[in-house]
Structure 1
């Protein structure tokens, strides 16, 4: 695996490499990331990963400074997954001067996760557009666990007319259903045992909606209350349309997704379940 910290060197290395499929990461890799690499391998000729902890997407109360940096271990995992090229820029390489031009997503950036992490999706969209311009891939893979991020980036790519196919990779889970996440490392043993409750609740909501339940607000309230009774601090549980994450309009038939974010101890966990049958009111 080639490792390039320099933008000019990376661009030179990617000349004539066929169909490039790109997987951006912030490092601290786990099996969920490796599944995205495997998805990328099946989609093209050259797999490019990046590792960059992007300050722009962290708020003042977020965990930028303590976000785990595990570069050598990450490189070993990427090499074992047959990743061809790793782009590992420094902050000064990617932001040689203060970033003054930003990608400002529409109103959805202020809802759901955006309500609790102001500026987060602005920072994500800006760095991903910059990475797209550097790598110039034909496709890019992002995990469905970060569902709102995937939707924002997919819609940005379409509206900016970028010739990039944005692919959603399925969420990888532990045996008990917990979605794999770098932030799971913040859980104590007792919190780790409790954490799968989030996925169980979302699956129950999806089952009820598929069976015809239509009072989405009640399902959301009951789920948040159940989590909080078990020691969580819930930001939201929400039933939304898959395409744009807007509140279902009542027309019926549109694919839905139920999403949640809740804190358990010092870890903020997010998860979602797509609803593909019986959707809508």
Structure 2
């Protein structure tokens, strides 16, 4: 079995990167928090098709978690992640940085107590996911900038499941004048439409059976657009109905968990501003978040565009 070099030292990784530069090899980069699934591996394989070498980072970033969120419980599965990357035959190096190197000034989950340099993308971080998680995109933008500085890739690959993240990072690359081409790859899904996510492993079999509700909801809303609807209320109405119906069924069955809608959103792709009236051919994102028990699921579908 082939082995993949694993770098937990930034200095050691930079030696490897300099060697790639000497060989005039292009580098593609897939940043992850580990707990890899077929969606991640699809990004790695796409990167390999377009680049000479592919770097995968595995780093559970504390700066994007709030004190009440699941940092300690977030799955850490390096052995199986490594085996999956070996099997993919597409990964050239794994970056496994230490928190102490990534945050030299230290890091606390309390944003008011954080010290050091952070990156914020204004105007695109406060909507959608940024409403319930106002700390989130500051943490994402900061860690991705740090990883870009370490890896210095020609291309970087992200999944469209995290739609707002794709828009934020694309804007960050543009505004910070980073010499990186970003690729947003369509969401990988199970056969029943469920978006692949590392957090899906938190779901019990009973929860998993009904966890397609969000995908069904936003798909129903997209169908409304395809049938000519343009007003926000008219578009989102079937989505709310789908979620309420499943919520009522779960409650009636006396299930040991609850369904709770966090939000549904219809935004313009470029500005992430909520759309009240969808214009003809206007590119938009239909997205949402829902709790199944304590597991928070997110998903989205695109309207009048194929890529973020």
Same fold (TM over 0.5): yes
Match of 1:63 in 2: 70
How far apart in 2 are the matches of 1:45 and 1:73? 24
Pick one of 124, 127, 131 that aligns with 1:108.
Answer: 124
How far apart in 1 are the matches of 2:127 and 2:176? 22
Q: How does 1:73-222 map to 2 (within 5 A)?
A: 73-82=80-89, 83-98=91-106, 99-222=115-238
Q: TM-score, normalised by structure 1?
A: 0.94
Q: Which moved more, 1:95-104 or 1:153-162?
A: 95-104
CA positional deviation for 1:229: 4.0
Contact 1:210–1:275 (CA<8 Å) still a contact in 2?
A: no
Q: Which moved more, 1:108-117 or 1:48-57?
A: 108-117
Match of 1:254 in 2: 282
How far apart in 1 are the matches of 2:238 and 2:282? 23
1:198-256 deviation per Cα after TM superposition (whole angstroms, max 9, x unaligned)? 11121121121122101213433552353144232111111111223222375532212
Contact 1:22–1:40 (CA<8 Å) still a contact in 2?
A: yes
Larger radius of gyration: 2
**SS of residue matched to 2:267:** strand
Contact 1:109–1:121 (CA<8 Å) still a contact in 2?
A: yes
How far apart in 2 are the matches of 1:103 and 1:244? 19
**SS of residue matched to 1:116:** coil
Contact 1:59–1:118 (CA<8 Å) still a contact in 2?
A: no
Q: How does 1:222-261 map to 2 (within 5 A)?
A: 222-231=238-247, 232-248=259-275, 250=277, 251-261=279-289
RMSD of equivalent CA atoms = 1.5
Q: Which moved more, 1:196-205 or 1:20-29?
A: 196-205
How far apart in 2 are the matches of 1:239 and 1:7? 40
Q: Which moved more, 1:134-143 or 1:181-190?
A: 181-190
Pick one of 20, 32, 35 that aligns with 2:27.
Answer: 20
How far apart in 2 are the matches of 1:211 and 1:54? 42
CA positional deviation for 1:47: 0.2
How far apart in 2 are the matches of 1:64 and 1:229? 32
How far apart in 1 are the matches of 2:201 and 2:64? 20
How far apart in 1 are the matches of 2:145 and 2:289? 26
How far apart in 1 are the matches of 2:204 and 2:231? 35
Q: Which moved more, 1:164-173 or 1:226-235?
A: 226-235
Q: TM-score, normalised by structure 2?
A: 0.86
Contact 2:161–2:195 (CA<8 Å) still a contact in 1?
A: yes
